[in-house]
Amino acid sequence: MQNTFPQKQKRQYSIKIFSDGAEKDSLLKMNQSAIVSGMTTNPSLMKKAGITDYRTFCKDILTQVTQKPISFEVFADDFPEMKRQGLEIASWGQNVYVKIPVMNSRGENTYKLINELSHQGVKLNVTAIFTLEQMHHVCQALKGGAPSIASIFCGRIADTGVDPIPMTKAAVAMAHAVEPNIEVLWASTREVYNIMQADQCGCHIITVPFDILKKLDGLHKDLTSMSLDTVQTFKKDSDQMGFKL
**What residues have CB less than 8 Å from 58, skipping those under 6 apart?**
72, 89, 92
Q: How far apart are CA 170 and CA 85, in angstroms?
A: 32
> Annotated catalytic sites, by residue?
99
Count of beta carbons in the 10 Å neighbourhood of residue 164 = 24
Using CA atoms, how far residue 73 sits from 7, 15, 80, 217, 227, in Å, is: 41, 23, 15, 30, 42
CB 99 within 8 A of CB 128: no
